[in-house]
Amino acid sequence: MVPGFKVKRVIDTTGAGDSFCSGFLAAYSKGLDFKKCALVGNAAGAHCVMAKGATEGIKSYDEIMSFINEKILCRKPTKK
């Protein structure tokens, strides 16, 4: 299981699944393991839902990776 990302506001979910797939495949093409690929897919899907339509929220791979790094650095540790 890979956690999703909280977003400020969901505008439209159109294209979120396709965005996940494109993020996953982009990461896979760069040699990342499946867990990291899913994390990139989740981040791409999160960006997609923050804009109207299926393509307005699409970001570059570098922007997605920056988003992931920012969110992970700001994440509070979870208790087990």
Per the annotation, the verdict on 62 as an active-site residue is: no
State the maximum Cα–Cα separation within the chain, in Å, rounded to a whole number. Answer: 38
Which position among 12, 18, 33, 62 bears the catalytic label? 18
Among 68, 61, 63, which residue's Cα sits nearest to residue 23? 61
**CB distance 31 to 72 below 8 Å:** no
On the 0-12 / 13-18 / 19+ scale of CB atoms within 10 A, 14 is middle
Query: Which residues participate in catalysis according to the annotation?
Result: 18
